[in-house]
Structures are given as structure tokens and as C-alpha cells.
């Protein structure tokens, strides 16, 4: 049986409460059921919190305590780091000038395929950095992404 969609006004009210309840991302885009519907939770506003996409997807049908225990048992940080925090770390590690140069080169020298590959690699680095405590400026995915912007040797 298909579940009835959440009322738009309830969704809006929950999202207006504040940042992601789990990582603090200031721009939550989803509503999470604290007690998952699959485990008897309801759409009662007391059971709903704002969540970013990453946290809501990773939490699945865990309770918040179960999810925290799973993250800690698998070596992931708790609470999860928000995407803005991770992006600040990535930009800080590689430097704004390097990122600016990469961005300009991507627009002028790289093929559409290389641009798409570089963006996918940057997304993967960012998601990996967010999911784990391990990340560095020498990350292979980031190195590859930045390399696509370098002009071909003459």
C-alpha cells in the first residue's frame, strides 16, 4: 500500500525550523522521520526534523541512536560534517587560487567529457570527506579532477 504524501504545509514548517538536525547543514532539503515510518513512526510534527539529503539518505530506517552507533562502529565521525564544512576544508586545503585557476581552465580548455569527469571526481572527494574523517589535499580523486584542467603538453 502506497503511503500518503506529506502535506506541503507540514513539510514547509519542518524545513523552516532550522538546519539539518544531524549535521547542522544550514540548507536542509528533506524532512526526516525520527522514528522511521517503516518502524511505526508517523507524520506527526513531533516525529519530523529537517535533514540534508546526505543525512536523510544515509540514516535510512535507523533511529538517530542506531545511526550514530553504526557510524561510530564503522569509523565515521559523529555527528556527520555538513557539506558547507567539508567544502570549506577542501577549498582551504587546496587554496582559493588553485580552485579559481581550475575553474577558469575547466571553462576554457577542457572538453565537456573532462569537465563532467572532473566534477564527478570533486563530488566523490567531497562525499568521501563527508562520510569519513579521512581526507587530504593529496586525495587521488581531487588530484585527478584538478589534472583535467591542465593544458595538454605542447
Render pLDDT for 66-98 as a digit per residue (tens, 0 to 9). 999 999 998 888 998 888 777 777 767 666 666
- Give the separation between CA 75 and CA 117, rounded to whole angstroms: 28
The pTM (predicted TM-score) of the whole model is 0.64
Task: Tell me the domain boundaries of the chain.
Answer: 8-73, 83-147
Which pLDDT belongs to residue 5? 81
Residue 149 clears pLDDT 70, i.e. is over it: no
Tell me the pLDDT of the chain averaged across its residues.
77
For the stretch 40-76, pLDDT in tens is 999 999 999 999 988 999 999 999 999 999 999 988 8
The upper half-sphere exposure of residue 135, i.e. CA atoms within 13 Å in the direction of its Cβ, equals 26
Express the helix, strand and coil content of the chain in percent, nearest 5 each: 55, 5, 40
Q: What are phi and psi of 32, to 5 degrees?
A: -105, 145
CATH class of domain segment(s) 8-73: mainly alpha
How many other C-beta atoms are found inside a 10 Å radius of the C-beta of residue 42? 11
- Give the separation between CA 149 and CA 154, rounded to whole angstroms: 15
Amino acid at each position: 500500500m502506497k503511503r500518503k504524501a506529506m502535506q506541503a504545509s507540514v513539510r514547509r514548517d519542518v524545513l523552516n525550523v532550522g538546519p539539518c538536525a544531524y549535521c547542522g547543514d544550514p540548507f536542509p532539503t528533506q524532512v526526516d522521520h525520527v522514528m522511521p515510518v517503516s518502524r511505526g513512526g508517523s507524520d506527526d510534527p513531533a516525529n519530523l526534523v529537517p535533514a540534508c539529503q546526505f543525512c536523510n539518505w544515509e540514516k535510512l530506517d535507523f533511529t538517530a541512536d542506531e545511526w550514530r552507533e553504526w557510524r561510530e562502529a564503522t569509523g565515521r565521525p559523529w555527528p556527520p560534517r555538513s557539506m558547507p564544512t567539508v567544502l570549506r576544508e577542501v577549498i582551504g586545503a587546496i587554496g582559493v587560487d588553485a580552485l579559481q585557476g581550475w575553474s577558469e581552465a575547466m571553462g576554457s580548455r577542457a572538453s565537456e567529457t573532462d569537465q563532467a569527469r572532473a566534477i564527478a571526481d570533486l563530488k566523490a572527494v567531497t562525499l568521501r570527506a563527508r562520510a569519513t574523517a579521512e581526507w587530504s589535499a593529496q586525495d587521488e580523486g581531487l588530484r585527478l579532477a584538478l589534472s583535467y584542467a591542465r593544458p595538454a603538453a605542447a
